[in-house]
Structure 1
Amino acid sequence: MLRRLHTRLSLGYIALMAGVFLLLGAYLVNYVQDLERQELRARLESQAWLVALAAAPMIGTTEEPNLQEFAQDAAGQIDARVTIIDQEGRVLGDSEAAPATMENHADRPEVAAALSGQIGESSRPSDTLDRTLIYLAVPIVRDGEQLGAARVALPSDQFAGWLRNIVVAVAAALGIAALAIAALSAILAGVITRPLSELIQTARRIAQGDLAARAPEHAGGEIAELSHAFNEMTTTLQANIEAIEAERARLSAIVEHLTDGILIVDDQGQLALINNAAERLLGTPRDRLLNRPYALAVRDHDLAEVIAQAHSGDEPVRRLFEIGQPRRYVEGVAYSIPHRATPVVVILRDVTELRRTDMIRRDFVANVSHELRTPIASLKALVETLLDGALEDEEVAHEFLARMETEVDGLARLVQDLLELSRAESGRLTLSPVAADIRRVAEQVIARLRTQAEPKKLDIRIEIPDGLTPGRFDPERIEQVLVNLVHNAVKFTPPGGIITVGAAAEDDHLVVWVADTGPGVAPEDRDRIFERFYKTDRSRADAGTGLGLSIARHLVELHGGRIWVDGTARPGTTIKFTLPLALEPAPTGDSTPSAHRA
């Protein structure tokens, strides 16, 4: 296109200058032709007067027969045809023909004018020479008497040759000027179109994505204004595109980091977008899902049906189903976007934890109800018995009141454990970690629980080496952990069994364990015994609240450690937990923890 514009501009300039030069050439040719004719006439007139002046003495004298020779000599001197004519029109001498063979010239226009005393001129074919001549005749006068006419003539083709030479010269000059103008036109067209070419090249670079490209701004003129406006437009476009890209990147980052899975299905039924959460839920790499039909990509009947229903309807489709490996409970919501290239958007919300939490809540309510039902039922039965008359029997009344005290103590212990667990789970339980000796804490726990172990003749041992690197923990809270662990060991270890409290330093932490020679924990129960109210043997309803190990887990985790059942220990059960090591030595004074914190 630009090349055509350059050509059109060049041809336009050339056509304009050609027209001007044609007009100028025609004017110059006419002007020069007029000048040449005037000069020719003046020359012919001057030559004719000279001939007339020279011939005047010869006419009407005895020398008159010599006029033929005179005409020939004069013609040779002036390089023109010379004719001497008397007053009657007879030819007295002619440089080109014999007078006797020539007609009377009185009727010739130029001769007639000259014989009448005027200067005559004409251009016509010569009957004698059979060619066109230019004639000019003047009167021959001697002593005031007109004797005839002197006529000179030149061939018109000689004048045409002069004119042709002039035309050739003018044409050559105009041609050279035209070539120069054509070159200047091409240069001028290039000067005009070069900024446009630069604009086009810049526009193409921008179209290819180079938003930093700018057109050169030439000084002055409309092209400079156009370049400036183009650059301002490009700057605005670049700013807008950068803002759009930034917004797109921000939205993409938001979508990618959403905890809910996002799927977008285009109008061809193919997956156009999938975020990280959806990729995890589907359990398939993203590159195997994108740009594939959704039914083949997701490979889940429920999800495919949700998408199909949303695609064919106007209302959002909501459904709860399982998906992926391992199976996860997902709430899927799909809705269509009319008149868009992405007609279906699917949101997948993982509700596995919500369902698990809901189940835990239900189990918690059921377990609390169960734990409360038995002692309350016992208390109710005891109170009713006392009201029915047992109160009158002092011995029975005392026994019933003792049993009621036991049930109330159990309820108080349950409430205390629930409050403690609630504080631990909500983060409201505070720690006071210090460098402490785990052996001293273990000795204090054994001292507290030895009275419970003695009736079963249990042997409680401590396997903690002297000089063990101290740990950094809250002694009171870790004593509570050990109390729960040792208390469980005392409850489930058969008479005559052995309970061991040990500790050792490993890497950057302290490992503490409580082992017994009881029946052990089944593998399927090892991960669940730290849950609230979980009991491995439901028949032992009075064995405890089922909250001790859950409280122990939370206290250990608050210290940055972990607690687990060691499945390699045989026989019995070994529960281990870790604590951080202290960088400073433990205090040497009495580190006995205070009473169990409420």
Structure 2
Amino acid sequence: MSRDLAARGASIALVAAVVGFLVGLLSDGPGVREVAAFALTAGLGAAVGYFAFWRPSRAVRTVVEAAERIAEGELAQQVPDEPGPAGELTRAFNVMAGRVATLFETVAFEHARLEAVFDASSDPMVALSADTSIRFLNPAATSLFGVRMAEAIGRPLIEVARDYELEALAQRAAAEGRGQVAVVSFGPGRVPLRAAALPIREGGDWAVLLILTDLTEVQRLDQVRRDFVANVSHELRTPLASIRAMVETLADGVEPDETPAFYERILRQVDRLTTLVNELLDLSRIESGAIQLKPEPVHVGQLLAEAAGLLQARAQAGDVTVVVEGADMEVEADRSALLRIATNLLDNAVKWSPPGGRVWVEARDEGDLVAIFVRDEGPGIPEHDQPRVFERFFKSDAARASAGVGLGLAIVKHLVRAHGGTATVASKPGEGATFTVRLPKRFIGRRRLA
């Protein structure tokens, strides 16, 4: 490049010398000295032209090579300053190269930040072009659609999501230029999703951002709320209706010898209401952190034997045998809370055991943990009900006619969590149920529940 430009300079000088010689020839005619002078002048002119163009040609060549490297992605390109007029070119190029590098660095930072925001979101997010082709999607979206990112980029949304409602929602947002929101049932499992398609103004080939929110947990909590209202209403209505009926009967007049029986039945219903209110208050205090835990060394075997003794009368009334097994060991826990955990589990097991059945309660050493197992021979718990047995007021269809308000296992769950432990259930219909509580031997919970 530099030699080519210098050669052009020499050619220009040589042409100028030839023109001068021709002018002289036409005017006077050449002599020997004139020819020699012409040859010398032409040679000097060519040499001067060559070297005069050498430096700027070298600067041009350096700039061109640096520009080619920038085009290939090597952004940090600078060229050495040249003296004279060529220096203006190299300095201007260096300023331009610096600005290009800064611009690309800024774009890279913005892209990294945007990608971090997308990846951190637990909600599936998909960036679409105006024709609803996928331009970008986060890991949550790849998991929902069951594809890899490389397979999804560039493909139409309908091919990846296979959902016409999502496709139509994105098309409307792109065509109308305003946000679209709908609740759709997605996939074979009919997962409820809140789909929001938002147009992206001046986003280049990103025309629409599709955000999907899983409503499964929201619907589950709504079901819990409905069950709570239904169960509380039932538990309050039944004893109140019984009390009202018996009071009205007494007001109408009964035989004197029947009066004590009515009073006894009213008292039982009042006790039932009192139990409900007390358990509600206890659960509320546990959840709000109003109960103070006082951890101390507790002999687990002795505590389980004590809990079995408290349930002995009820077990005998139902012809159920409670068997305490396992070696004794110590755990650092609040003794009253641990006793309540054991009695609630045993009470639940005895209630569901058939006449002549057995309930086993066992403590095992699991290294840093103490495991307490309570197993019964009852009808078992359906698989679809097992995730909900520790919810407040939850009662399965089979349990709705039984005594109890559905708070005992909820209290167990919260007290166990407060000790830093876990509570689980395993059951097969017709084969009983096993409730397992695991507590750390060293207290790691909260002394004040929160």
Q: Scaled by the length of structure 2, what TM-score is found?
A: 0.86
Larger-Rg structure: 1
What is the aligned length? 444
Question: Where in structure 2 are there 5+ consecutive unaligned residues?
Answer: 444-448
Amino acid at match of 1:505: D
2-structure distance, mates of 1:284, 1:169: 89
Cα deviation code 1:155-212 (max 9, x no counterpart) = xxxxxxxx97xx2343234313422431232122111221122122222222222111
- Pairing 1:357–2:221 present: yes
Amino acid at match of 1:206: I
| DSSP 3-state at the match of 2:439 | strand
Larger RCO (CA within 8 A; separation ≥ 6): 2
- Pairing 1:211–2:79 present: no
Corresponding residue for 2:86?
A: 223
With over 3 angstroms needed to count, the CA separation of the structure-2 counterparts of 1:195 and 1:473, relative to structure 1, is same
Corresponding residue for 2:271?
A: 409
* Aligned partners of 2:6 and 2:57 also within 8 Å: yes
* Aligned partners of 1:255 and 1:262 also within 8 Å: yes
Cα deviation code 1:347-384 (max 9, x no counterpart) = 21111111111111111112111221112222222333
TM-superposed CA distance for 1:548, in Å, is 1.0
Corresponding residue for 1:347?
A: 211
* Aligned partners of 2:324 and 2:360 also within 8 Å: yes
2-structure distance, mates of 1:413, 1:532: 15
Cα deviation code 1:551-576 (max 9, x no counterpart) = 21233234343333344899543322
Residue in structure 2 matching 1:552, options 412, 415, 419: 412
2-structure distance, mates of 1:8, 1:268: 54
Question: Where in structure 1 are there 5+ consecutive unaligned residues?
Answer: 31-162, 584-596
With over 3 angstroms needed to count, the CA separation of the structure-2 counterparts of 1:448 and 1:370, relative to structure 1, is same
With over 3 angstroms needed to count, the CA separation of the structure-2 counterparts of 1:415 and 1:330, relative to structure 1, is same
2-structure distance, mates of 1:432, 1:168: 124
TM-superposed CA distance for 1:509, in Å, is 2.2
| DSSP 3-state at the match of 2:278 | helix
Corresponding residue for 1:14?
A: 14
Residue in structure 2 matching 1:232, options 76, 95, 104: 95
Corresponding residue for 1:481?
A: 341
* Aligned partners of 1:458 and 1:496 also within 8 Å: yes
* Aligned partners of 1:17 and 1:178 also within 8 Å: yes
Residue in structure 2 matching 1:192, options 38, 56, 60: 56
* Aligned partners of 2:381 and 2:429 also within 8 Å: no
TM-superposed CA distance for 1:325, in Å, is 5.4
2-structure distance, mates of 1:183, 1:445: 113
2-structure distance, mates of 1:476, 1:249: 53
Of 179-188 and 417-426, more deviation after overlay is shown by: 417-426
TM-superposed CA distance for 1:259, in Å, is 2.5
2-structure distance, mates of 1:522, 1:371: 23
2-structure distance, mates of 1:194, 1:378: 107
Amino acid at match of 1:477: A
* Aligned partners of 1:269 and 1:294 also within 8 Å: yes
| DSSP 3-state at the match of 1:292 | coil
1-structure distance, mates of 2:73, 2:122: 34
**What are the residue-to-residue correspondences of 1:10-159 with 2, within 5 Å?**
10-18=10-18
| DSSP 3-state at the match of 1:229 | helix
* Aligned partners of 2:66 and 2:78 also within 8 Å: yes
With over 3 angstroms needed to count, the CA separation of the structure-2 counterparts of 1:395 and 1:201, relative to structure 1, is farther
Aligned-residue CA RMSD in angstroms?
A: 3.4
| DSSP 3-state at the match of 2:311 | helix
Q: Scaled by the length of structure 1, what TM-score is found?
A: 0.66
Amino acid at match of 1:332: A
Once the two structures are aligned, what percentage of the paired residues are identical?
Answer: 34
TM-superposed CA distance for 1:457, in Å, is 4.7
* Aligned partners of 1:446 and 1:460 also within 8 Å: yes
Amino acid at match of 2:393: F
With over 3 angstroms needed to count, the CA separation of the structure-2 counterparts of 1:226 and 1:436, relative to structure 1, is farther
Of 449-458 and 185-194, more deviation after overlay is shown by: 449-458
With over 3 angstroms needed to count, the CA separation of the structure-2 counterparts of 1:458 and 1:265, relative to structure 1, is closer
2-structure distance, mates of 1:519, 1:13: 111
With over 3 angstroms needed to count, the CA separation of the structure-2 counterparts of 1:523 and 1:355, relative to structure 1, is closer
2-structure distance, mates of 1:2, 1:418: 92
2-structure distance, mates of 1:237, 1:321: 45
